[in-house]
Amino acid sequence: MEEGFFNPYQEVSIHERNLPHWQQPGVLVFLTWRLADALPETLLSSWRAELRVWREHYPEPWDEAARAEYHRLFSTRIERCLDAGHGACPLRDARFRSPVEQALRHYDGRKYELQGFVIMPNHVHLVARPSPDVRIEQLIRGWKSWSGREVNRLQDTSGEVWQSGYWDRLVRDQEHLTRCLNYIQRNPIKAALAADEYTLWIRRGKPGSCRVS
């Protein structure tokens, strides 16, 4: 099993809030999180109700077929709604994307290794490999906290900038990583964004080219 990818034969840590989050130390993960106003509450309520029913029929742990079905029915639908551009979309402006990019890059090569990210008008997609002793929720909490304060300061606003949760997928192999990075690169095109309405960055080279301590 190649280093940096999900190993189904090793222990997996699972914690839940609204969604189950799988973690395995030092494994690449594809992450998505959104601005607090990016999805209408009516849509979220319907989505959560359908998810509860689905999970009653497909209890954890999921096999690969169930996980694929989950992403087809639920993740993909949310991603389409995000690309539709709901909410105020302040990240369409480069001034407000800048602190988000700074937060993402701050500990790159120390606490994690970034593989690629795109900052869209109302959400972020990212692939990273956390250091084995760093938990994903700690990283996201730090990214959101610092960038949220800066976005509020720049807009002269207050309140929650980001959603409370996130979506995550452990990366299984090189083919899966390639698909995730391709998705990140194509997301602005699929959403019909102009070149100044998003920030895209992809690391060149294979995972592990940057030391994570």
Look at 31-45, 62-76, 81-95, 115-129 and tell me which has the smallest mean pLDDT.
62-76
Whether residue 106 has pLDDT greater than 90: yes
Which of the pair, 159 or 211, is modelled with greater confidence?
159
List, for residues 165-192, the tens digit of each pLDDT value. 888 888 888 999 999 999 999 999 999 9
Confidence class of residue 68 from pLDDT cuts 50, 70 and 90?
confident
Give me the percent of the chain exceeding a pLDDT of 90.
Answer: 49
Give me the percent of the chain exceeding a pLDDT of 70.
Answer: 74
Domains of the chain in start order, with CATH, are: 13-36+88-202 (3.30.70.1290)
- CB under 8 Å to 144, separation ≥6 — which residues? 33, 161, 162
Q: What residue has token string 């994690």?
A: 112
What is the spatial distance between Cα 183 and Cα 199, in angstroms, rounded to a whole number? 14
Structure confidence at residue 118 (pLDDT): 97
Whether residue 212 has pLDDT greater than 50: no
Structure confidence at residue 207 (pLDDT): 55
Whether residue 213 has pLDDT greater than 50: no
What is the spatial distance between Cα 35 and Cα 50, in angstroms, rounded to a whole number? 22
Number of helical H runs and strand E runs in the chain: 6, 7
Instruction: Yes or no: say if 174 and 2 are a contact pair by the CB < 8 Å rule.
Output: yes
Mean per-residue pLDDT, 90-101: 97
3-state secondary structure of 207: coil
Structure confidence at residue 86 (pLDDT): 73
List, for residues 25-55, the tens digit of each pLDDT value. 788 999 999 999 887 666 666 666 777 777 7
Whether residue 10 has pLDDT greater than 80: no
